[in-house]
Structure 1
Amino acid sequence: MAKELVVPLAPNVWRIPLVRDLVNGFILRDDDGQVTLVDMGVKSSGPKVLAALGAIGSAPSDVTRQVLTHAHPDHAGGAAHVARETGRGFTVHHDDAAYAAEGSSPPRDRSFLLGRLFERFSRPGRDFEPLAVEREMTDGEVLPVAGGLRVVHTPGHSPGHVSLLHEESRTLITGDAIFNVVGLRWPVKAFCTDFRMTQRTAHVLGELDYDLAAFTHGAELRDRPREAIRRFLGSHRTD
């Protein structure tokens, strides 16, 4: 296995470092070889996702599901490239599905100057290449992925932002609810649709059970991750 292309997290679960550890995707593989991809990084990341498949001995034809935690260009930018190779559409939360289909980011938080600037320059089909949405997921459902992948709706960063809990390996994928870049931190405020909502809904991550926390921005936490996330959330309480 080419270690630089994938980072093993648990049996049949890998992180794909798409821009070093700063932007990550994930692979989950069923015992029968079916593969699920989660997040495809920036526009240039598509080939890295495909190379990561090869590194674990899988092929694009093994991919049966492609999931986006949300419709932002650093997660969906490489998605169209991957889709052309796998022939698969995308599973996205209902509240982000229309944005993924038109290739646009959801609204930014206009209470911040930078958010208003991003909003001004966002155009349908210009943020990332439009995607085929083949399934809309909902909060609490368990996707039939590698023993069960639970959808945890954590809106705020985007309306349909989700975190994902792989129940068999007890691995949490936080999405952009929380970053782990130079320590645990909130996502950039101006990138959120509603930053205050992001803070409120992330608290559900402290109530879940998991042994490893994986982040779409930053390296994973393997040592008592639930306790670390609960400490972070406890020190950043909202009204």
Structure 2
Amino acid sequence: MAHPLAVPLADGAWRLHTVRGPWLNTFVFAQGPGREVTLVDTGLPGAPKRVLAGLAAIGRRPSDVRRIVVTHAHPDHAGGAAALAAATGAPVALHGDDVSFALAGAGPRFDPSTRGGRIMARLGKGTFPPVPVAEELTDGQALDGGLHVLATAGHTPGHVALLHEPSGVLVVGDALMNVGRMRVSPRALCNDARLCRQTVRRLAEVDHSVLAFSHGPSVADGAALGAHLRTALV
């Protein structure tokens, strides 16, 4: 049964709500038959308390976390990483192209070629507690527990999606969002809007059963992504 803080996606996979409702999500993946888990994304700086409560709701303790993976260095994904690393003792992993931003606690610039990006730049990139990155991820890397790294640069230089092969859950980070409707990341929020629309295409080639968004509810339809991209990216 779904818990207000934790929603099962598939065997060994859950979505944790770091705000009320599915509008900013952290994901938990079980590693094999034991209690050990990997966390994917950490929410805003104030999210760790809810993340830890979500872990408790599925019977996991902070000490069960063996790795924290951050899809990209924006405050709503990396903001809670430092606190969760301290609370769990788990190392933080991030794609190498976003490491400098995570260490500085400030996201990359927004795309100045778009009007929205220039407006966002004037509003500020958003800061967060610097992240103690222990591992630099690379495209195609296979992590313990069945997570497969898919580089999808554009939203940020080091943005990644993650396929949990045992469950078929594909975490798309912010390459795609499902707020009101499924859509590619808005141009105003991208570091390189054109590149984002190029790299997101590779996700349509990934065999999956559940499409999991950082922003919005998941979609349990392996064909939904390909159908969307065929119409959205013509």
Sequence identity of aligned pairs in percent? 44
The amino acid across from 2:9 in the alignment is L
Match of 2:230 in 1: 234
Match of 2:210 in 1: 212
**Distance between the aligned counterparts of 2:25 and 2:119, measured in 1?**
26
Q: Does 1:34 align with 2:36?
A: yes
Match of 1:189 in 2: 187
Match of 2:106 in 1: 104
Shift of 1:189: 1.5
SS at match of 1:75: helix
- In the alignment, is the contact (CA less than 8 A) between 2:17 and 2:51 conserved in 1? no
Matches within 5 A, 1:66-145: 66-120=68-122, 122=124, 127-145=127-145
C-alpha change, 1:209 and 1:2, in structure 2 (3 Å) is closer
Give the gaps of 5 or more residues in structure 1. Answer: none
TM-score, normalised relative to structure 1: 0.92
Shift of 1:161: 0.4
Give the gaps of 5 or more residues in structure 2. Answer: none
Shift of 1:211: 0.9
CA offsets, 1:187-210, max 9 Å, x none?
A: 221110011111111111110101
- In the alignment, is the contact (CA less than 8 A) between 1:157 and 1:177 conserved in 2? yes
The amino acid across from 2:24 in the alignment is V
SS at match of 1:163: strand
Matches within 5 A, 1:56-75: 56-75=58-77
CA offsets, 1:102-138, max 9 Å, x none?
A: 1010121112234224334547xx6100010000010
Match of 1:14 in 2: 14
**Distance between the aligned counterparts of 1:2 and 1:214, measured in 2?**
16
Match of 2:25 in 1: 24
Shift of 1:72: 0.4
CA offsets, 1:135-168, max 9 Å, x none?
A: 00100111112xx100000110000000000111
**Distance between the aligned counterparts of 1:114 and 1:80, measured in 2?**
30
Match of 2:199 in 1: 201
Deviating above 3 A after TM superposition, structure 1's stretches of 4 or more consecutive aligned residues are 120-123
Shift of 1:214: 0.7
Shift of 1:78: 1.8
- In the alignment, is the contact (CA less than 8 A) between 1:2 and 1:55 conserved in 2? no
The Cα RMSD (Å) is 1.6
The amino acid across from 2:43 in the alignment is G
Shift of 1:234: 0.7
